[in-house]
Structure 1
């Protein structure tokens, strides 16, 4: 079984919060593990080591700024799949409790994970 690290952006918008919620629903500590969005660019050795122990990665970006992708790139992880919530037609707004479109994001994550499994 492939170990997949999922990095949610966790940004301060509805789309950022959705990346975190979808990740929490997927992470099981075995096949799916969360990667710390802050620990990577801050250079925290243990977090980087844990992140790099995964065999596949998904960056869940809330918006076109793509902070999750940039965090992975900051530690030399450049072989990853990327999802940007706003690319799915979900509007970014200031209401962090707005989960409109979260099912679409969850379905997209499932699709990307399945594509990673096929590569294995």
Structure 2
């Protein structure tokens, strides 16, 4: 995956070592944003990938852009069809990533309980995408 500038991920200067799998969730104010955020944290805890700061990408923070540049894979998790996380990555120039939209999984904004079952469902889908 060649997102922006980095051609040789092994020579990455972002300080992240070898090319990590990075996860950017929507952490919005709705129930589906919380589910996306908690799934990303679970994927990180389980060692599947590493959650990073979406706001830093939108803000153009050089250190956080360097982490994205180094990524061997990027997973974006959006809660609703507004696709804020996806659009943030695209606006920053990142076009190659895996994408989960919770509404495609039957989770409607404002109508989805934040529970272990829903978090596990998103986590499983995220793991599947990052491992493939």
TM normalised by structure 1 equals 0.83
Aligned ranges for residues 8-87 of structure 1 at < 5 Å?
8-28=25-45, 32-87=49-104
RMSD across aligned positions (CA): 2.3
Answering whether residue 129 of structure 2 is matched by residue 112 of structure 1, we say yes
* Local SS of the residue matching 2:40: helix
Map of 1:98 onto structure 2: 114
> For residues 31 and 102 of structure 1, do their structure 2 counterparts lie closer, same or farther at Cα, with a shift above 3 Å needed?
closer
The answer on whether the counterparts of 2:25 and 2:85 sit within 8 Å (CA) in structure 1 is yes
Q: Over alpha carbons, which structure has the higher Rg?
A: 2
Length, aligned pairs only: 114
Alpha carbons 1:57, 1:80 under 8 Å: kept: yes
Normalized against structure 2, the TM-score is what? 0.76
**Stretches of structure 2 lacking an aligned partner (at least 5 in a row):** 1-17
